[in-house]
Chain A
Amino acid sequence: MTVQTDAIKRHTIAVLVDNESGVLARVIGLFSGRGYNIESLTVAEVDPHENLSRITIVTSGTPMVIEQIKAQLRRLVPVHKVRDLTVEGPSVARELALVKVAGVGEKRVEALRIADIFRARVLDSTNESFVFEIVGSTEKLDAFINLMEPLGLVDVSRTGVAAIARGANPL
């Protein structure tokens, strides 16, 4: 069981918790208190009957740190399940961003053209602005936002990563 490598890797961790007040503070407090980093975090109720929420956390660390993060999460009383989607079999992950770009003339045309290539949708448009909706991997969103930068990027809102294992089984 000795963990050999010290390389820092990004992991996506799914956590099923009781949907009760303070539970998100517990999870976030655990990360800040122990010096782990959070790259993205999403949370919403997923099972109203059982009163369960699902938290998806993207974090990074050495294998020993990632093991610690999972063990510490499992130690929280309202936590039901912790799954490391990065190592426990294949999974799919998506993120959504709303991207506001303001500009006129050629830049405006270019923004629309790139949005088309990225399959981003136009949610709102005025004479001098667009709001695009784009869905994809974190990397794809990063690339899109980078391209919008010189074209009049004014605002970005991202959901953080939602992830789920492939295949028929539940979490």
Chain B
Amino acid sequence: MPTQPLNGAEIILKALADQGVEVIFGYPGGAVLPIYDEIFKQNRLRHILVRHEQAAVHAAEGYARSTGKVGCVLVTSGPGATNAVTGLTDALMDSIPLVCLTGQVPTHLIGNDAFQEADTTGITRPCTKHNYLVKDVDSLARTIHEAFHVARSGRPGPVVIDLPKDVLVGRGEYVPAAKVRHKSYKPQVKGDIKLIETAVEMIAGAKKPILYGGGGIINAGPAASQLMTQFAHLTGFPVTLTLMGLGGVPGSDPQFLGMVGMHGTYEANLAMHDSDVMVCIGARFDDRVTGRINAFAPNAKKIHIDIDPSSINKNVAVDLAIVGDVAHVLEDMMKVWKARQYRPDERALRAWWAQIDKWRARECLRYEKTNKVIKPQYAIQRLYELTKDRDTYITTEVGQHQMWAAQFYKFEKPNRLMTSGGLGTMGYGLPAAMGVQVAHPDALVVDISGEASVMMNIQEMSTLCQYKLPVKVFILNNQYMGMVRQWQELLYNGRYSESYTAALPDFVKLAEAFGAVGLRAEKVGEVDEVIKEMMALDRTVIVDIRVDPAENCFPMIPSGAAHNEMLLGPEDEADKPISEDGMVLV
């Protein structure tokens, strides 16, 4: 039965409703006014007005990663779309499902260098999973449904839909979501059972196994984290996680060795290096994880489980690859393990754990306990202790504070850490926290931040205050772009070129200027006090923690070094100079 034709903007709102979208983060402009007019006329879809389009995308990322839903963004043509590019790239690198609607000049003006025209599909082609330019109203509904399907299925990612203004005002037919089937895009979800059987056999024979999990576990939904934990317990194997995988097994689990990679723990990296069977589950052998590639886990048989076939054999050649959703594959692996009554090699495993315990005894995350200055690690440890019993979500910016957050905050559940892993985008954390708080109004949402990063999207304090989002911006203020300063110390003889953050604002006054609350801790004894005070406030808060400006983040595997060439602390800096090859790497 033919339905009443709708205009393009009405179709968009209907399609978003059909897709279950409750919140959209956006910023208006000429090209999207018809959509804004429809938003005005209804109150089902909630619009959050950001202060910069980049922040809209990060907010949608925070929303998506903390809920498992698709995040949704609406921006205008030209500068609106180009401002969104960093966020889209960030979402692509971290496999975050997003749909971003961009305005466009009317079809007859495309290519004319019209006012606020940009080649949005051209610009965003390499930074999206897919993008569309909708050229007529009749394909609009179908395109939106397809975009959501592409964004959320397989390896998730951002999708852009570019919408010329004439398409928004023209009239056309609405197509319900159920009728849309894609011809070519069909990601594989179930793993090949023959390969799974082979994998389980390899795993059962392991003497020095390691489970290495990544963001794929989080993306596969909370069930995947449970399965991952069960699998670890069933086998008794040690587990390490990437930055993006934290929360994939509980941070307090005795089998969890901590994070792997450049600033991962000594025990995790050495267990990777010395392992004989490595099971990579939803991770991608990123250069931050592997260190020098030709020295990466030289004796390990590697099994790789990933939903994206292009992740397999990209950086590291593996011995067995299983393409599929990690939750499905883990489930099948456990079925096979149980059905065939496999038992781990108990004796070998005991010896392996004894070795791991020796590595653990090095206490690689140890730092100087002092009353003279606030150590950043201490501030995060206290934050963890005081917030762990609350329903807490953590976001971070990028830098040392991010790594300390990953090292010292124990994530017990998935979807609790929102951080820019792949792109490393300073300015991600504050807007991401905004998105998380919108999705979880009653939760405690903390952006663990650096004084430099926070300035990159500080304007969003205004958004937080407008919507009364009680996000806590927890700044580890070391007055330096600490991570840059650390590299300059290690690699450039302490020539701190442009890494001092001079002329910093008074963050307490800045908070107040936005209508938020500003708190400060300058002495060790004040840390607990301000954390408690911040938690007690149902307001947006900036907490300025004045930490040791000279502290470095250890352990560290310098670029171009192998896992077993890690620097454990300042005492190692002099003994292990960084190789020339390493100098060209980032």
Contacts and interface: CB of A to CB of B under 8 A. Distances in A.
A22 B110 CA distance: 15
A80 B183 CA distance: 8
A25 B150 contact: no
Contacts of A72: 310
Leading 5 A-B pairs by shortest Cβ distance: A71-B310, A80-B184, A77-B130, A71-B309, A77-B185
Interface size range of chain B in the complex: 20 to 34
B13 interface: no
B366 interface: no
Interface string A7-35: 00000000000100110011001000100
B505 interface: no
Given A1-B319, A25-B122, A80-B184, A64 B313 contact: yes
B121 A22 contact: yes
Contacts of A76: 130
Contact of B317 (A2, A21, A79, A80): A2
Given A18-B183, A77-B150, A78-B184, A25 B313 contact: no
A87 interface: no
A25 B310 contact: no
A67 interface: yes
B318 A2 contact: yes
Interface in B94-133: 121-122, 125-126, 129-131, 133
A68 interface: yes
B557 interface: no
A67 B318 CA distance: 13
Interface residues of A, number: 22
Interface in B132-182: 133, 150, 182
A26 B132 CA distance: 12
Given A1-B320, A2-B319, A25-B122, A71 B133 contact: no
Given A77-B185, A79-B184, A68 B133 contact: no
Given A21-B133, A71-B309, A1 B183 contact: no
Given A18-B184, A75-B310, A77-B184, A29 B133 contact: no
A50 B121 CA distance: 24
A33 B150 CA distance: 22
A75 B310 CA distance: 8
Contacts of B150: 77
B582 to A, nearest CB: 21
A121 interface: no
Among B130, B182, B313, the one with the most A-chain Cβ atoms within 10 Å of its Cβ is B313
Nearest to B184: A80
13 contacts: A1-B318, A2-B317, A2-B318, A3-B317, A18-B184, A22-B131, A29-B126, A33-B126, A64-B313, A64-B317, A71-B309, A74-B309, A77-B184
B338 interface: no
Interface string B293-329: 0000000000000001110111001111100000000
B125 A22 contact: yes
A72 B309 CA distance: 8
B317 A26 contact: no
